[in-house]
Amino acid sequence: MLTFTSSPAHFLVEEQPAYQPSGEGTHTFVWLEKRGLTTFDAIARLAAAFAVAARDIGYAGLKDKQATTRQWLSVPDLDPERALTLAADDLRVLSAARHAHKLRLGHLRGNRFEVVLTGSAADDEVATLRARFDELAARGVPNFYGGQRFGADAANATRGLELLRGTRRERDHRKRRLMLSALQSAVFNRALELRATRGPLTDVIPGDVLKKTDTGGLFVTADPAVDQVRVDAGELLPTGPLPGGREIEPPPGTVARALEDEAIAAVGATRDDFARAGRDLPGARRPVLLRMADTAFCEEAATDPNGRAVRLRFTLPAGGYATVVVTAVTQNAGP
């Protein structure tokens, strides 16, 4: 059986930026490679190396710790040539260029992944994995949040609920945002589970909030049968909730609204709880399916002479989790 163990040797993550640095400005974008470090670990190291406040260092997304990852960070008032002097076994700057503003969370198109599965497997097992991978590349993967979203102890959603209720305080803005986002993610995952009990995730149900795949525009379905044709054609995707004060919601009394209310209640919260969080939780919608691009399934030499190794290559849009893809491939979890 081939399995995945997250490690710098078996997991590569490379950020796909939304734009390149312009070459001019008061901030310096650094293209960083790290191994066995969280993004916040890397930020702390840069802050110490260049005598800047960690809060002034920008990032577009959080990258896995147990992996080799490459991502952009921005540092104010740093000479690009000086940035290139940072080089260690677990952290090094590959390139640096100036830009006019700080890098902000979400300023990325997606991430490219390489995942190595290792173990023992017969030819027919490898063929089955290849078929599953190809099918998911064609159909899409359930867009669950991965376990890393919820923290090493899986308690970030619980902490987020405590923040929402006012029974917990957190002065660190980044940590507060992380915990509240984990609570939103728990609601989304539960909504996806409930939706799966009704049938295919892409079945349009009354009240669904649909997303246009070309522009990202959102609207509430007025005729599920008509919109189902557009979903089947790849023009639209149903979405699930990331509750907040300005989220587009299914209308009261609809099937979609009842399903999402049940998901919110499952984490111990209400819609009003999320609305009271104000600017910390504006809310959003997330597609129920994750589309892979640039896919490749490659068998390669294994370090164990009696074993086998398969490398999966794929690109996911921002917010997609490679671990969810791996689970879908190895456990035959499909939409």
pLDDT of residue 276: 84
| 114 lies in some domain | no
Same domain, 148 and 270: yes
CATH classification at residue 80: 3.30.2350.20
pLDDT of residue 151: 86
| 164 lies in some domain | yes
The answer to whether residue 326 scores a pLDDT higher than 80 is yes
Write out the two tokens for 79.
């000479």
Q: How far apart are CA 335 and CA 328, in angstroms?
A: 9
- The mean pLDDT value for 96-125 works out to 94
The answer to whether residue 247 scores a pLDDT higher than 90 is no
User: Domain boundary residue among 83, 106, 129?
Assistant: 106
Domain that holds residue 23: 19-106
Same domain, 169 and 137: no
- In the block, tokens 């027919």 appear at 124
Q: How far apart are CA 322 and CA 11, in angstroms?
A: 9
Same domain, 134 and 42: no
pLDDT of residue 24: 96
Write out the two tokens for 44.
């702390």
Same domain, 138 and 149: no
Same domain, 71 and 85: yes
pLDDT of residue 334: 35
What is the percent of the chain with per-residue pLDDT over 90, rounded to a whole number? 85
Same domain, 45 and 136: no
- 183-200 per-position pLDDT tens digit: 999 999 999 999 999 999
- 237 and 285 in contact (C-beta within 8 Å)? no
Model confidence, pTM: 0.88
User: Domain boundary residue among 267, 287, 307?
Assistant: 287
Same domain, 202 and 264: yes
pLDDT of residue 332: 54
Residues 6+ apart with CB under 8 A from 207: 220, 221, 250, 251, 253, 254, 255, 256, 257
Q: Which residue has the higher pLDDT, 295 or 148?
A: 295
| 201 lies in some domain | yes
What is the percent of the chain with per-residue pLDDT over 70, rounded to a whole number? 99
pLDDT of residue 306: 81
Q: Give phi and psi for 46, each to the nearest 5.
A: -65, -40
Residue of 64, 208, 261, 273 with catalytic role: 64
The answer to whether residue 26 scores a pLDDT higher than 90 is yes
Same domain, 179 and 224: yes
HEC string of the chain equals: CEECCCCCCCEEEEEEECCCCCCCCCEEEEEEEEECCCHHHHHHHHHHHHCCCHHHCEECCCCCCCCEEEEEEEEECCCHHHHCCCECCCEEEEEEEEECCCCCCCCEEEEEEEEEEEECCCHHHHHHHHHHHHHHHHHCEECCCCHHHHCCCCCHHHHHHHHHHCCCCCCCHHHHHHHHHHHHHHHHHHHHHHHHCCCCCCCCCCCCEEEECCCCCEEECCCHHHHHHHHHCCCEEEEEEECCCCCCCCCCCCHHHHHHHHHHHHCCCCHHHHHHCHHHCCCEEEECEECCEEEEEEEECCCCCCCEEEEEEEEEECCCCHHHHHHHHHHCCCC
Confidence band (pLDDT; 50, 70, 90) for 208?
very high
- 115 and 69 in contact (C-beta within 8 Å)? no
For this structure, is 64 an active site residue?
yes
Residue 273 CA to its chain's centroid (Å): 24
Same domain, 201 and 257: yes
- Mean pLDDT across the chain: 94
| 113 lies in some domain | no
**CB atoms < 10 A from the CB of 312, how many?**
24
- 310 and 126 in contact (C-beta within 8 Å)? yes
Confidence band (pLDDT; 50, 70, 90) for 231?
very high
Residues 6+ apart with CB under 8 A from 68: 8, 9, 11, 12, 13, 33, 34, 35
The answer to whether residue 258 scores a pLDDT higher than 50 is yes
- 262-290 per-position pLDDT tens digit: 999 999 999 999 988 877 788 999 999 99
Q: How many domains are contained in the chain?
A: 3
The answer to whether residue 226 scores a pLDDT higher than 90 is yes
Confidence band (pLDDT; 50, 70, 90) for 221?
very high
pLDDT of residue 335: 37
